[in-house]
Every structure is written in C-alpha cells, then in structure tokens.
Amino acid sequence: MPGKLHLKPQRRRQLLLLAALGFFLLNAVAFFHAWRFTHFVASGLHTDNPEQLSGPQKLWVLATGIKNPKPVTTARPPFAYQTICLGSPNGRLETWYSAVPNARGTVALFHGYTSSKSKLLTEAATFRRLGYSVLLTDFAGNGGSEGNVCTVGHHEAEDVAAVVRWLQRRQGQVLIYANSMGAVATLRAEAELGVRPTANLLECPYGSMLETAQSRFRSMHVPSFPMANLLVLWGGLANNFWAFDLDATRYASKIKTPTLLLWGTADPRVTRHETDAIYAALSGPKQRQNFPGSGHEPYWWKHKKLWERTVTGFLGVAQTR
C-alpha cells in the first residue's frame, strides 16, 4: 500500500532492542534517584533545594540524584530536658523530653524531611511558655535516632504512634505539632494505626507522595511525567510499601481529631490545591491559617505574632471540646 512503512526484520529487532534498553535505563535512573532520596549517607553536604540550583546544576542533579547526608542535631534546648530513647518498629528513637510544673498536657513535636528535632526548639519553647510539657523526636534515620532510611511519612507514622502511645501511658492529654513530612506521618498514624491525640497542629502536609514528587520536577522546570511516577513506584518498592497510597488527603477524611492546618502562600513544595483538599477532607473540628508570603519554612520567621496568636487560640478551643 502507498505510504505504508515497511521495516526489515533486522531493523525492527534493532528498534525493539533500543526501546527495551531505553525503558531499562529510565527505570534504572528512577530507582537510583529513589534510593538516594530515601537513604541517607553518613556525611557530606546536602544538595541545595531545586529552586536554589542553576541550570547546569539542575541537569547534574537530574543525571546523578541528590546528595542526602543524614540530618544531624545542630542545637540543644535552652531549657531543661532529658534525653529519652524509645522503641519503634523502625529502630531506636532519640527524644528530648522537657516537663513543666502543672502541665496542661504534652505536645509531641515531629520534624520534616531532611531535618531533626533541633529545628523545632523555638516551637517547643513557645509551648512550654503556654504551660505544656514537650517531647521532641528524631524520626528513625534522622538526628540521633537509629538507621538511615526515610520514607517521607509512611514508615515514620509508626514512630509517631510509638511516641504518642508512650506519652499517653504516662501523661494526660497529648497533642501533636508536626511539620511537612511529620504532618503526613501524623495523618497516617491516626488514619491507619489508630493513634488518638487530643489535637493536631499541622504545618504544610503535602497532598500525596506523587504530588510531592511532581512538585520537585516542577521546581526544576522540567516535565514530571514519567519520572515522578517512576520515582514513587521504585521509592515504595525499595522500602517495602506501595507509595502511591501515601496520600494525606485520603488520610484526612478518616480523622476526627480537632486539627489546625497551617500553610504559607508562597510555599514552592505544597500547593494551595493540596492544602485546600486536605482541609476539606478533615472530618472533625478544624481551623486553618494561611501565612502570606511564607514558603516551606517555619511561619514564625515572618509572622511571629500571627503564628503565636493562632496556636494559642486553637489550643484554648481544642482543649475545651
């Protein structure tokens, strides 16, 4: 037939071989990236955030993956505290516990990705001034805790459950303050592991693992498909879970805990759409506060008074329910 393309058998085999090789290489690169994203190395400098990289640097990161040294403790509490090690299915967790006299309850604080408990000292000091004891935890693989694996919220939910249940056996009311990955881990701990705190104060949880992978590619101004999907696929399989089910919006629909949701309007990692969806899905009492011009960062940096007023007001309401 005129115009019909005829390929010789040898040429067809060559094209099929090239396609198979390309498919293999694409998946190999995705697995390599996923492994480096979820496994910390002992030391070195962390790759800058995507929005801080130059064009050539972004290309290099796309080709080689990020450098991900294990987060370390960068500061110590300015208040009295005890170092307590707790058991988790993920390994030994290092925590800092600081009690206040006649405490109104205890706030368990959980950090974000590539961070540590030492990044939450300002928040912890604020809760102590408000009359709460505090417990700051390094997730497994971070800071002083065992391991080198980070699953961006999935396995970390077991750490949240271990900490909260330990506190509930000893204390009265237990509240959770969690940032980014820690917020997603908290939502999963409540939705799937049966954790029941008195209240949640959650900063910038991402909508799903796929969405946060896609946002990484968007921040580098490159197409997210199919690499984001492959990263999620291999990131989960390499760590024994189905990462496409790591979905904070779905978790939120199962949660009746009073929840304060905090978000910065200039956040390059978590979109307004993701935050709107999580807030709409929350099935219990809820409150939301946006912080104009704040990115994926502590909101007290730019809005200290608003952050303190919002947190104080929510705590007053949540503990009277």
Is there a single domain that holds both residue 130 and residue 227? no
Q: Is residue 5 part of a domain?
A: no
Q: Is residue 4 part of a domain?
A: no
Is there a single domain that holds both residue 35 and residue 99? no
**In the 3-class helix/strand/coil scheme, how is the chain assigned residue by residue?**
CCCCCCCCHHHHHHHHHHHHHHHHHHHHHHHHHHHHHHECECCCCCCCCHHHCCHHHHHHHHHHCCCCECCCCCCCCCCCCEEEEEEECCEEEEEEEECCCCCCCEEEEECCCCCCHHHHHHHHHHHHHCCCEEEEECCCCCCCCCCCECCCCCCHHHHHHHHHHHHHHHCCCEEEEEECHHHHHHHHHHHHCCCCCCEEEEECCCCEHHHHHHHHHHHCCCCCCCHHHHHHHHHHHCCCCCHHHCEHHHHHCCCCCCEEEEEECCCCCCCHHHHHHHHHHCCCCEEEEEECCCCCCCCHHHHHHHHHHHHHHHHHHHCCC
Is there a single domain that holds both residue 49 and residue 100? no
Is there a single domain that holds both residue 52 and residue 107? no
Closest CA to 33 of 68, 70, 69, 65: 65
Is there a single domain that holds both residue 95 and residue 163? yes
Q: What is the pLDDT of residues 66-116, one digit of tens each?
A: 778 999 998 999 999 999 999 999 999 999 999 999 999 999 999 999 999
Q: Is residue 75 part of a domain?
A: no
Q: Is pLDDT above 80 for 44?
A: no
pLDDT > 90 fraction of the chain, expressed in percent and rounded: 76
Range of the domain at 262: 82-208+246-319
Q: What is the pLDDT of residues 138-158, one digit of tens each?
A: 999 999 999 999 999 999 999
Q: Is residue 148 part of a domain?
A: yes
Q: Is residue 110 part of a domain?
A: yes
Is there a single domain that holds both residue 58 and residue 150? no
Q: Is residue 47 part of a domain?
A: yes
Is there a single domain that holds both residue 102 and residue 138? yes
Is there a single domain that holds both residue 234 and residue 176? no
What is the number of domains present in the chain? 2
Q: Is residue 3 part of a domain?
A: no
Is there a single domain that holds both residue 203 and residue 222? no
Residue type, 62: L
Cα–Cα dist 139/236, whole Å: 18
Mean per-residue pLDDT for 33-50?
79
Which CATH number does the domain housing residue 298 bear?
Answer: 3.40.50.1820
Cα–Cα dist 204/178, whole Å: 9
Lowest mean pLDDT among 45-59, 210-224, 292-306: 45-59
Is there a single domain that holds both residue 111 and residue 19? no
Mean per-residue pLDDT for 235-247?
97
Is there a single domain that holds both residue 111 and residue 47? no
Backbone angles phi, psi at 217, to 5 degrees: -70, -40
Please tell me the predicted confidence (pLDDT) of residue 183: 98
Q: Is residue 203 part of a domain?
A: yes
